[in-house]
Structure 1
Amino acid sequence: MQPAEFQLTALTGLAGAGFDAIIDARSPSEFAEDHLSGAINLPVLDDAQRAEVGTIYKQVSPFQARKIGGALAAANVARHVAGPLAGHGGGWRPLVYCWRGGQRSGAFATILAQIGWRTARLSGGWKSWRALVLDQVERRGPPAPVVVLDGNTGAAKTEILHLLAARGVQVVDLEGLANHRGSLFGARPGGQPAQKLFETRLAMALAGLDPARPVVVEAESSRIGGLALRLSVPVTARAAYTARAYADAVLEPGRVEATVARLAPLHPAERIEDWRTLAQRREWAALAEGLMRHHYDPRYEKHRARHGALERAVIGVERLDAAGLEDAAARVEAAVAGLHPQGL
């Protein structure tokens, strides 16, 4: 029995294809850089083995490289079959891919098919997937009308976006896809994904949108969206909210002080020293307010002066407690409905 060839023509094409598992046969570093959504990594060659085979190919001979690579691949596939794949019955249906649908996925898929599993190999491999991702992100873009949720730092845009999603509004959480809060202190546990993996996440989010309904995204770039709604929140409320929302960031010793130090080329020495003192005293709300007034807000206003023509409404929000956030989400939802009455 030989593995079938599976041709992927759309990012959402895997959803109805009926595969029980998607196996990425590439090395762990290739997998970490990007992979098909939902794939598991069962390498035919790990990173060290791949480097070793490549060196032999260049310095000794292609034949010797294939011989050694074949032995390594057979041993690795045998471990996968005896280990993570051992519990699957005869009706199991996997899809296997490697970088371009060549030797690694071919070897793995052939063994799985010979065992009796209904195995398919992705035609063109990861490269065919990457082409679809780039087509979605760079050429097609969002299939739905985009409404941008704008607002200065600390306006709780991301939390309001999540409340909108809970209300049934169509959203794309760019910060969630990037695993970063989009500010100097915005790093999250686990770190940001590689650029290619972020593009894959974004492409999948875009491909899954209902084109008949508007989608709300947080303002991250002037290139996103054609209409904007702006949250206007007092700086004291934003500072207090930020001190709560970034509680995890201040737990890491020295992180805040180091971040403030990076701002030294942009501000007077006295101001930087004041911010360092506030950080040392753990006066987080006061530090947040100072950063907003003198660093973030002036930059937002400069950007808004250039792109203000996109703004359709300003939504005043006085409080960012639970009740205030729910009220803000309801008003944003109503404003989106006013911009696209047929879509909600």
Structure 2
Amino acid sequence: MSRPDCDQFAEIFLRDTPMMDLRAPLEFKKGAFPHTVSLPLMTDQERAKVGTCYKKQGQDEAIKLGHQLVSGRIKDERMEKWLAFARANPDGYLYCWRGGLRSQTVQQWLKDAGCDYPRIVGGYKALRRFLIDTQERIVADSSFRILAGHTGCAKTDLLNTLPDTIDLEGLANHRGSTFGKRPSGQPPQLDFENSLAIALFRQNHARPQAKILLEDESMLIGRCAIPDNLRAKMAEAPLIIVESTLEERVEHSFRNYILNKLEEWQQAEGEEQGFAAFADDLTQSLFKIRKRLGGVRFQTLNDLLQQALAEQEKGDNSLHREWIRILLDDYYDPMYNYQMTLKKGPVEFRGTAADIKAYLNDH
């Protein structure tokens, strides 16, 4: 029994429904959804040719050219991929930009091959509109709390052990600070916004009355910008402040930004190239804040960092703690203390990670 085309967007996102995106690769790179695979009807070059034909000669000629470009062996190869996706994902859907010609064409070709596969009514544009409207509604209607604390107090680790939370740094694939770059890179802004809207929707659907806990973030997490309406709500939300000693924060930063970061780079690039990329990552990150550090302090920290990297390459990574301690104490802590004076939200609770867990279990 064939399934109908779908306009039940809430169910699509609540169920992590697999979808094949028939748009051109460039369109997919600008923005897509989780659990979606790029299986374009046309390459970027083919789409550009059809677009030019459409402008000069009209729709009928553009459609004719499209069928010429995607025919024979090229069509057969793409059909194999579409059929393989349909077989592997019998509960999935296909879509294009507006649910028009591209998705209807592929849908018909699949049907001719004996595969009746449904499409998303309205395509990417309708799915995106649903998420924008949903995000705006949930942000307006929900209550938030903000998990704050000095750099290195393991806020993200704590956040991920608590209920009713959304990990913004996880969605942005970035650790949040100047040193937060990850080897696997960040999603495009639209992907980040789509994933955030889905996370808000799922959280709200599961527990509509719950206060949502978010980590204190600046406007940008790496290059991913938090939407303005959410930033405004976060700025006025009550604060849950994590308290941690400087030594604890040094150790956490050492694990996070030295041990874990090196492991990620070496997994991505191999042992030798991974270490070189890791060293360059740290060096470039420190260089980015040189003006705010001032010339003398930057030079001191950079000398310590380069010495630590040289010793680490020989097998001793312990020297990293020295520049991390200075950076936290002299740079990040004063900046955090100043930013706290600008907060509009009241301090609801402060304490250690264990204190906060106990408090939130009762509140």
- Mapped to 2, the partners of 1:89 and 1:53 lie a distance apart of 30
Query: 1:38 maps to what in 2?
Result: 35
Shift of 1:89: 6.0
Query: 2:305 maps to what in 1?
Result: 279
Cα–Cα, structure 1 residues 16 and 29, in superposed 2: closer, same or farther, change >3 Å? Answer: same
Cα–Cα, structure 1 residues 90 and 114, in superposed 2: closer, same or farther, change >3 Å? Answer: farther
Shift of 1:15: 4.7
Shift of 1:299: 1.8
- Mapped to 2, the partners of 1:236 and 1:91 lie a distance apart of 50
Q: What residue ranges of structure 1 are gaps of 5+ in the alignment? A: 317-327
Cα–Cα, structure 1 residues 88 and 66, in superposed 2: closer, same or farther, change >3 Å? Answer: closer
Query: 1:201 maps to what in 2?
Result: 195
1:180-191 superposed matches below 5 A: 180-191=174-185
Cα–Cα, structure 1 residues 115 and 142, in superposed 2: closer, same or farther, change >3 Å? Answer: farther
Percentage of pairs with the same residue: 29
Query: 2:106 maps to what in 1?
Result: 108
- Mapped to 1, the partners of 2:109 and 2:303 lie a distance apart of 64
Out of 269, 278, 295, which is 1:269 matched to? Answer: 295
- Mapped to 2, the partners of 1:172 and 1:120 lie a distance apart of 32
Q: Is the counterpart of residue 337 in structure 1 residue 361 in structure 2? A: yes
Secondary structure in structure 1 of the residue aligned to 2:342: helix
Q: Which amino acid aligns with 2:255?
A: R
Shift of 1:177: 0.5
Q: Is the counterpart of residue 305 in structure 1 residue 341 in structure 2? A: yes
Cα–Cα, structure 1 residues 292 and 249, in superposed 2: closer, same or farther, change >3 Å? Answer: same
Cα–Cα, structure 1 residues 74 and 135, in superposed 2: closer, same or farther, change >3 Å? Answer: farther
Query: 1:320 maps to what in 2?
Result: none
Moved more, 101-110 or 289-298: 289-298
Cα–Cα, structure 1 residues 31 and 204, in superposed 2: closer, same or farther, change >3 Å? Answer: same
Query: 2:312 maps to what in 1?
Result: none
Query: 1:7 maps to what in 2?
Result: 7
Query: 2:155 maps to what in 1?
Result: 157
- Mapped to 1, the partners of 2:88 and 2:347 lie a distance apart of 58
Alpha carbons 1:147, 1:336 under 8 Å: kept: no
Query: 1:242 maps to what in 2?
Result: 253
Out of 165, 168, 182, which is 1:171 matched to? Answer: 165
Q: Is the counterpart of residue 314 in structure 1 residue 350 in structure 2? A: yes
Alpha carbons 1:23, 1:42 under 8 Å: kept: yes
Q: Is the counterpart of residue 211 in structure 1 residue 208 in structure 2? A: yes
Shift of 1:143: 5.9
1:92-171 superposed matches below 5 A: 92=90, 94-141=92-139, 144-164=142-162, 169-171=163-165
- Mapped to 2, the partners of 1:90 and 1:231 lie a distance apart of 45
Shift of 1:275: 0.5
Paired residues, number? 320
Moved more, 271-280 or 143-152: 143-152
Secondary structure in structure 2 of the residue aligned to 1:182: coil
Superposed CA RMSD: 2.9
Q: Which amino acid aligns with 2:76?
A: A
Out of 50, 53, 56, which is 1:53 matched to? Answer: 50
Tell me the TM-score normalised to structure 1 length: 0.83
Greater helix share, structure number: 2
Shift of 1:186: 0.4
Deviation string for 1:131-174 (max 9, x for gaps)?
A: 1111122343276532221111101011112222xxxx222111
Moved more, 94-103 or 260-269: 260-269
Cα–Cα, structure 1 residues 89 and 60, in superposed 2: closer, same or farther, change >3 Å? Answer: closer
Q: Which amino acid aligns with 1:149?
A: L
Query: 1:322 maps to what in 2?
Result: none
Q: Which amino acid aligns with 2:361?
A: A
Shift of 1:125: 0.8
